[in-house]
């Protein structure tokens, strides 16, 4: 089954999917898109237990295309928990796409191992403070993936809900658990990003 994504449902579908989502950004007037589409559909059928295929017509979803910087098509992006894992531009043969998917599945598996390790550490931290992690597992995974994305980009696990200036002295309090989390949990029952709850 192929999902059709729009500006209205893109974020929700990408973030709530239980498997990685392979998104094909395309348009009706794009000949290479029409060549790539059946290749992706065939692979999606074969790999249906490993990922979900989604299609975004850039003319019907201009905000999404703009957000992800889609300026040439076809563009294919692989997402996990709402985060970009990898992508490619243009038509590729079926064996090349399969090899790319396998390589990226290994990357996703390694990332998810790291996510599990971080979650376990944060569970222990929460228990020591008489809190708990958010009961919504998807929220926890999304926050941790955001922390890992910030670590990759900036070198530290900055809270994904805080603006990073890239000025280390100014940003050091934003490293998770951030300097404001205790106050927020006491006041609001949860920290800003929703990772820790009372």
Strand 75-80: give its sheet, edge to edge: 2-4, 52-57, 21-26, 75-80, 83-89
Rounded CA separation 143/198 (Å): 17
61's tokens: 């979803």
Asked if 6 and 61 touch (Cβ cutoff 8 Å), the reply is yes
Annotated active-site residue 176? The verdict is no
Annotated active-site residue 159? The verdict is no
User: Is the C-alpha dihedral spanning 150, 7, 138, 53 positive or negative?
Assistant: negative
> Where does 27-101 show beta strands of DSSP type E?
52-57, 75-80, 83-89
Among residues 33, 178, 191, 193, which one is catalytic?
33
Which residues are known catalytic residues?
30, 33
């Amino acid at each position: 089954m192929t999902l059709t994504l729009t500006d209205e449902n893109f974020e929700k579908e990408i973030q709530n999917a239980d498997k990685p989502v392979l998104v094909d950004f395309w348009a009706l007037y794009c000949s290479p898109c029409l060549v790539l589409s059946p290749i992706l559909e065939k692979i999606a059928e074969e790999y249906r237990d490993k990922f979900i295929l989604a299609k975004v017509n850039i003319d019907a979803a201009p905000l999404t295309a703009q957000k992800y910087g889609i300026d040439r098509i076809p563009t294919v992006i692989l997402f996990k928990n709402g985060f970009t894992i990898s992508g490619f531009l243009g038509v590729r043969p079926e064996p090349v796409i399969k090899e790319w998917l396998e390589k990226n599945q290994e990357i996703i598996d390694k990332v998810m191992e790291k996510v599990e390790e971080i979650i376990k550490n944060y569970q222990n931290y929460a228990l020591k403070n008489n809190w708990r992690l958010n009961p919504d597992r998807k929220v926890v995974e999304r926050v941790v993936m955001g922390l890992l994305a910030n670590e990759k980009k900036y070198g530290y696990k900055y809270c994904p809900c805080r603006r990073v200036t890239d000025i280390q002295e100014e940003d050091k309090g934003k490293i998770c658990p951030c300097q404001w989390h205790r106050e927020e949990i006491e006041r609001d029952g949860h920290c800003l990003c929703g990772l820790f709850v009372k």
